[in-house]
């Protein structure tokens, strides 16, 4: 089986990185479709337009509100197509970046991503998630290639509330363990190929960086001021995590996000928070005796990640909901990347042990 490794063509990170937007946009043409959420447009829209205008690029804003549903995607694609856009620029959180990917895929245009939070690794990846009007996950779809350019302005990211940073820690810390399960059990990565050793090494480095710097970095979140630890952690949460999962593969921790939303109260939890708990469940099922799970539990306590379903937001622990969660999880592609075939009862039992 062939191995595959994918990545963005270029990645820039640091305070002021957003100031490079106009210069790079001009490389791709003169008209850009800006896919952006409403709040971020109010804060940064004027600056983004000025940066592009100074470089001869006209920016046409397509504002996203609410979940990314098929109807919303169709509307955005229609608007972007009518503009005759030469490129797509996606600015904001995960939903806005995913919307930009859907538009770029439809138009066959270059994509520039500009994240304003570090809550997940969407900026570097080619995949995007569609939901229905009730916030149920419908599908994970993919661009043919990763974003062409990623601009991570850490001065902007540092203004986001700490909750989003915590979610980013939770989403990223799992990648080492999920990639290892994928590789060990003949799984496929996001390129439908065998994972590479390079991806595993990156995922390992991601976890090591977060365990070393995550707590100190969290102290800077929401302050608007960066620090060396913050810079290292953001790089781990966006770049290392993104490369590690796409080229390394996923396992139970991410598969659980298919089912956790069926537990009352948990549907409101951010993706990274769900993944954080999912990792604990995965390590429980692995029956590890190397002290890693205990080390992570201690780290979770220091950085504020959920260790139980109650801490994740569950308002009740209902056996029928746990069973439904387990059933939906095991239907996810990534659930097969495990040493043994799990049953619904076994997974529901592991969830019960994490009820709190």
pTM (two decimals): 0.96
CA–CA separation, 300 and 231 (whole Å): 20
Q: What is the pLDDT of residues 147-200, one digit of tens each?
A: 999 999 999 999 999 999 999 999 999 999 999 999 999 999 999 999 999 999
Q: Does 37 belong to an annotated binding site?
A: yes
State the pLDDT at residue 56: 98
Q: Does 176 belong to an annotated binding site?
A: no
Q: What is the pLDDT of residues 259-271, one digit of tens each?
A: 999 999 999 899 9
Q: Does 95 belong to an annotated binding site?
A: yes
Q: Does 191 belong to an annotated binding site?
A: no
Sign for the CA dihedral angle at 277, 278, 283, 286 comes to positive
Q: What is the residue whose two structure tokens read 């993919």? A: 142
Q: Does 118 belong to an annotated binding site?
A: yes
Rounded-to-5 percentages of helix, strand, coil across the chain: 55, 15, 30
Q: Does 171 belong to an annotated binding site?
A: yes
Q: Does 218 belong to an annotated binding site?
A: no
- Tens-level pLDDT at each residue, the chain (356 residues): 899 999 999 999 999 999 999 999 999 999 999 999 999 999 999 999 999 999 999 999 999 988 899 999 999 999 998 999 999 999 999 999 999 999 999 999 999 999 999 999 999 999 999 988 877 778 899 999 999 999 999 999 999 999 999 999 999 999 999 999 999 999 999 999 999 999 999 999 999 999 999 999 999 999 999 999 999 999 999 999 999 999 999 999 999 999 999 999 999 899 999 999 999 999 999 999 999 999 999 999 999 999 999 999 999 999 999 999 999 999 999 999 999 999 999 999 999 999 99
Q: Does 12 belong to an annotated binding site?
A: no
Q: In what helix (H) or strand (E) does residue 174 lie, and over which residues does it extend?
A: none
Query: CB of 352 within 8 A of CB of 266?
Result: no
Q: Does 271 belong to an annotated binding site?
A: yes
Domains of the chain, first to last: 10-158 (3.40.50.1970), 162-354 (1.20.1090.10)
Q: Does 97 belong to an annotated binding site?
A: yes
Among the listed residues 252, 246, 179, 238, the one whose alpha carbon sits nearest the alpha carbon of residue 209:
238
Q: Does 117 belong to an annotated binding site?
A: yes
Q: Does 121 belong to an annotated binding site?
A: yes
């Amino acid at each position: 089986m062939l191995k595959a490794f994918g990545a963005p063509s270029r990645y820039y990170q640091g305070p002021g990185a957003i100031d490079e937007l106009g210069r790079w946009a001009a490389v791709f043409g003169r008209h850009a479709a800006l896919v952006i959420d409403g709040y971020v447009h109010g804060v940064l829209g004027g600056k983004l337009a000025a940066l592009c205008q100074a470089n001869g690029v006209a920016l046409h804003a397509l504002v996203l509100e609410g979940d990314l549903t098929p109807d919303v995607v169709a509307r955005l694609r229609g608007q972007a197509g009518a503009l005759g856009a030469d490129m797509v620029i996606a600015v904001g959180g995960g939903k806005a970046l995913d919307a930009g990917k859907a538009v770029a895929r439809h138009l066959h245009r270059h994509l520039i991503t500009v994240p304003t939070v570090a809550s997940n690794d969407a900026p570097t990846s080619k995949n995007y998630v569609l939901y229905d009007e009730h916030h149920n996950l419908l599908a994970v779809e993919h661009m043919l290639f990763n974003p062409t350019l990623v601009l991570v302005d850490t001065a902007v990211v540092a203004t986001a509330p700490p909750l989003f940073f915590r979610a980013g820690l939770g989403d990223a810390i799992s990648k080492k363990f999920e990639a290892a399960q994928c590789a060990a059990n003949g799984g496929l990565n996001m390129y439908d190929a065998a994972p590479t050793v390079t991806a595993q090494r990156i995922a390992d480095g991601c976890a090591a960086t977060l365990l070393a710097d995550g707590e100190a970095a969290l102290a800077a979140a929401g302050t608007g001021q960066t620090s060396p630890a913050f810079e290292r952690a953001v790089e781990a949460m966006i770049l290392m995590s993104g490369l590690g999962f796409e080229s390394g593969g996923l396992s139970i921790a991410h598969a659980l996000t298919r089912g956790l939303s069926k537990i009352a109260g948990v549907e409101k939890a951010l993706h990274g928070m769900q993944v954080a708990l999912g990792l604990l469940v995965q390590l429980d099922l692995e029956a590890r005796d190397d002290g890693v799970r205990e080390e992570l539990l201690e780290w979770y306590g220091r950085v504020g990640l959920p260790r139980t379903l109650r801490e994740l937001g569950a308002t009740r622990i209902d056996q029928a909901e746990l069973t439904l969660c387990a059933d939906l999880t095991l239907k996810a592609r990534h659930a097969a990347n495990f040493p043994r075939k799990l049953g619904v009862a076994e997974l529901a039992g592991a969830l019960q042990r994490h009820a709190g």
